[in-house]
Structure 1
Amino acid sequence: MHSLQPLTDDDRELIELARRTVDANTDGPDGVHTMGAAVRGIDGRMYAGINLYHFTGGPCAELVALGHARASGARELTTIVAVGNEGRGVFGPCGRDRQVLLDYHPGIRVILPGPDGPGTVSITELLPGAYRWSP
């Protein structure tokens, strides 16, 4: 089990950005845009993304948010979160996203759902003993 740490005000702000992003861009309860994500840079700036569903396996919202941050010049990121549309709340990253996060941002914190509400955990705790690829 992961040892979730309590959310900070910055974490709650990041969750809200992801929620606003998915709410503004969803196609509704049966739509294909179902997840929004937000990431915070070391300077405090936040970057959002929305997933691009496609039958071939379009990118997850987390990867789109990472790309948005990178395209905006952010190289060091501190925290990431994904939120579902229609009020579904915080979701943990899939395995592919966890590997990408570990490889590019090994110090990043991830906001996860928990039994008593969301909390944070380090990416290394989510993917212990992982293969380490160096970009």
Structure 2
Amino acid sequence: MTMQNHPVDHELVEAAAHVARTRCRGDNHTMAAAGRAPDGRIVTAVNAYHFTGGPCAELVLIGAAAAQGVYELTTIVAVGDRDRGVVPPCGRCRQVLLDYFPGVEVIVGEGDGMRAVPVAELLPASYVWADHQLDTE
């Protein structure tokens, strides 16, 4: 499968990197995420690490976005603290992002290899939760 390359939203990457540099402190918050709303707004969040499986920054971002009235994201990126750069989403986050925002693009890679790809390309032959919900009405 060939991944489609889309323009990288460098402002979004910098927003996540800024949060990673200034808000991630200690072992509880080691990743930052930034998401772009269709109206151009940027929402940011950090992970909440916990040994029981605390949520990744991308998942916290979904809740933070909803709290700000953002229910759709066009692009998302995660950046690690200590200047680790862009970090691709884990499998759980890929699935959740696909379920919530099937058209979202995810920024992956680093340096000149950084690219934005549709989340569906990060999960080939994926299961789409929304496609299997029963009509309860």
Q: Same fold (TM over 0.5)?
A: yes
Question: Hey, what does 2:23 align to over in structure 1?
Answer: 25
> Which of 62, 73, 89 does residue 85 from structure 2 map onto?
89
Percent identity over the alignment? Answer: 53
Identify if the C-alpha distance between structure 1 residues 25 and 114 changes in structure 2 by more than 3 Å, giving closer, same or farther.
closer
- Please state if 1:36 is matched with 2:26: no
- Please state if 1:3 is matched with 2:15: no
- Contiguous gaps of at least 5 residues in structure 2: none
Preserved contact between residue 113 and residue 119 of structure 1 (Cα < 8 Å): yes
- Contiguous gaps of at least 5 residues in structure 1: none
Corresponding residue SS for 2:117:
strand
- Corresponding residue pairs, total: 131
Identify if the C-alpha distance between structure 1 residues 13 and 57 changes in structure 2 by more than 3 Å, giving closer, same or farther.
same
Corresponding residue SS for 1:70:
helix
- Please state if 1:65 is matched with 2:61: yes
CA drift of 1:114 comes to 4.9
Deviations 1:31-56 (A, max 9, x none): 33210000000111010000011010
Question: Hey, what does 2:75 align to over in structure 1?
Answer: 79
The amino acid across from 1:3 in the alignment is M
> 72-81 vs 107-116, which deviates more?
107-116
Preserved contact between residue 7 and residue 118 of structure 1 (Cα < 8 Å): no
TM-score (norm 1): 0.89
- Please state if 1:15 is matched with 2:25: no
> Which of 45, 51, 68 does residue 55 from structure 1 map onto?
51
Distance 1:125 1:7 in 2: 16
